[in-house]
Each structure stands twice: as C-alpha cells, then as structure tokens.
Homo-oligomer: A and B are copies of this chain.
Amino acid sequence: MIEDKNPQRTSLSELGEFGLIEHLTKNLEIKQDSTVKGIGDDAAVLDFKDAKTVVSTDLLIEGVHFDLAYVPLKHLGYKAVMVNLSDIYAMNAKATQVTVSIAVSNRFPLEALEELYDGIRMASKIYNVDVVGGDTTSSTRGLIISVTAIGVVSEDEVVYREGAKENDLLVVTGDLGGAYLGLQVLEREKEVWKVNPNSQPDISMYSYLLERQLKPEARKDIPVLLKELGVKPTSMIDVSDGLSSEVIHLCKSSKVGANVYEDKIPLDPQVISTSEEFELNSTMVALSGGEDYELLFTVSQDDYPKIKGNPHFTIIGHMTQESEGIHLVTRANTKIEMKARGWNALSEEKEESEEE
C-alpha cells in the first residue's frame, strides 16, 4: 500500500494537452474484436453485431470519493475502472470497453498520472476491456476521474433491477462491509500519522479490509458462472452503496417487498473483529457500508438447487408482496424496517468557501 514517491517530477505543461494524452495512452492495447477504432479520433467506434450495448458512467472526485493521503494513485486508477465495470456485470453483461477522462491541477507531475494510468492499464488488462477514449484536462483543484464503461449482452440474458417476483430468493455474492471498515482503518491511521509522521503502524490484521477498500475487484466471474449454472436472475444490482440501499432499489424497481435475515448476511472474520474494535455493529456496517462491489440478485425458487452450496453465493432472504414492506429479520427474530442509509455523497460533502 505504501509506495515510494517517485523523485522525478515532469511538469504537465511541458507536454501540453495532446502530448499528455499521447504519452499516457500509448501503451494501451486494443484486444476486443468489438473495438473498431479506439483512442485517436473524435470518437471510438464499436461493433456489437446484433447484441445490445450496455453503458454506465461514474465520476470520482478527490476529497469526496477518495483521499490521496492514503490511496496510492495506481490503486485509484484500478478502482475507478472497477466501480464502472461492476455496473456492467450487474446487467449480466460482459464489459468490453472503457473511456477514462481525468482532470488534474498542476500540483500533479506527469509521474503521478503515469501511476494512475498504470492502475487503469492493469485493470483493463486483467478484466479484458479496451480503453477506447477519454479526455484529459486541467482542474482548478485536485483530481477528477470520469469513467464510462461499455459492455455487451444478448437480449435474452440482460438482467434489470425490475424483474424480482414474490417468493424469489435474494442472493448476494462474496461478503459485505469490508471496504467500509478498510476506510475506517485508513482514516484512523491518517490521524495517527498527523500526530506522528514517523509512525509505522502494523496493519497486517486489516489486510483483507484494506484490499477491499483500496483494490476492489468487480465480479466479472458472476455473469459467466450464472450462465454455466443455467441460472438467469430475475433482477440484479451491484452493491456499491450498502446492502440496504440496494435491496430497496430492487424492491422499488420490481414492486415487491423483502425479508433479509440478519444471521445470513455474509461477513468476513476481519469484518466481525474490526467492527468490535471500532465499536460498530457489524450488521449495520454490511447494510450501510458501501463500496463492496459485490452483486445482489434474485432467483426463482426453482433455481435453488443450482445455487445451493455454491461458495460464491449466500441466500440472505426472499422477496415478499410489496405491501409487506422491506424488513431486516434480526437474530432476535424481530422485524425492523430497512432504510437506505447507504453512503450518501450529497450529505457528506464538505464545501469550502469560495473566499478562502
């Protein structure tokens, strides 16, 4: 996580805008058959034959979505791609291309952007997506990253948020809450570091949490696995804002209710122990933490035999009639109405006055 600062600093204005784009993108390979034309024209040209095109976009802002005090730029580039690919996989689609736009203030030397692009390149290589365009410009302050991800899906495989039916099983991949706790650990270490810049904290017991926060992996494998198992979810969403927010999205889009069982929510042992250490309720962490980039989906009860016992999947509840509402059934067997307490960018913003 901790990386040597590159001692070389090349000013961005030495390269100019076009030089910068060329420099940063020259090592990006095109591998997808569907990429007819990548970077270097007014627009990318893609060919999806008779399949559907899937498009999703996200903005990441320094000081809102990430803090460069503890996020290495390479990881940030990787994560920016993951956040968007996750949305493509949530459509049960295959991700094929991304465009990446960045705006930077001149406090960033070229070497910093190279590091950022190293992460983007690594993500595009591992996830087999082509970087086909983007924009590189300046900001008055800080780093801004905008990624648009493009994918492909056939008409009979696309999964929306809106198809869940009463009695469908509610299933989540992986485990939840790790990314949020990773952020708590990093925030705490930053405060410690402010007091004592020479401190070398032992963070090995949080390794999984830090990985979940700093280098999340989108669930590329899940659409493939579902196809192998012969399962088409009735609805699907990615878990970016916390479980409760996503369950509510599926329910509202599908016009159903849901019961989620607290004792079924998959938690890593590090999530349980670190929640205790931070005096947080681990269920609340999973429900509201966000940034897990797992997939949440519903399947017909008929598909139960196909997913039962699969280590990637945990059945955490089932869908009900809309009128029954959306509830968490606690370990004590009481029903609590679920509310979206997901990470809400707009309530967390820290405005700095214009006059400062």
Contacts and interface: CB of A to CB of B under 8 A. Distances in A.
A195 interface: no
A55 B96 CA distance: 13
Given A53-B47, A55-B148, A132-B55, A87 B42 contact: yes
A211 B76 CA distance: 40
Given A12-B346, A138-B349, A161-B40, A144 B103 contact: yes
A101 B57 CA distance: 7
A29 interface: no
A106 B351 contact: yes
A41 B253 CA distance: 9
Contact of A91 (B18, B42, B134): B42
Contact of A344 (B16, B57, B106, B348): B16
B103 A352 contact: no
Interface in A314-356: 340, 344-352, 354, 356
A188 interface: no
Nearest to A152: B53
A141 interface: yes
Interface string A105-128: 111000000000000000000000
- Work out how many copies of this chain go into the complex: 2
A294 to B, nearest CB: 13
Contacts of A206: none
A43 B20 contact: no
A106 B344 CA distance: 13
B148 A99 contact: yes
B140 A61 contact: yes
Contacts of A140: 61-64, 141-142, 349-352
A159 to B, nearest CB: 9
B349 A57 contact: no
A45 interface: yes
A148 B57 contact: yes
A146 interface: yes
Interface string A139-168: 111101010111101010010111000000
A347 B153 CA distance: 42
Interface string A266-306: 00000000000000000000000000000000000000000
Contact of A52 (B46, B149, B160, B253): B46
6 smallest CB-CB distances across A and B, nearest first, come from A138-B349, A43-B56, A42-B90, A63-B140, A146-B146, A42-B87
Given A56-B99, A140-B351, 16 more contacts: A17-B344, A17-B345, A41-B91, A43-B91, A43-B149, A45-B54, A45-B158, A46-B53, A47-B53, A53-B53, A57-B133, A57-B135, A59-B144, A99-B148, A139-B144, A141-B354
5 contacts: A16-B347, A17-B344, A47-B52, A58-B101, A137-B346
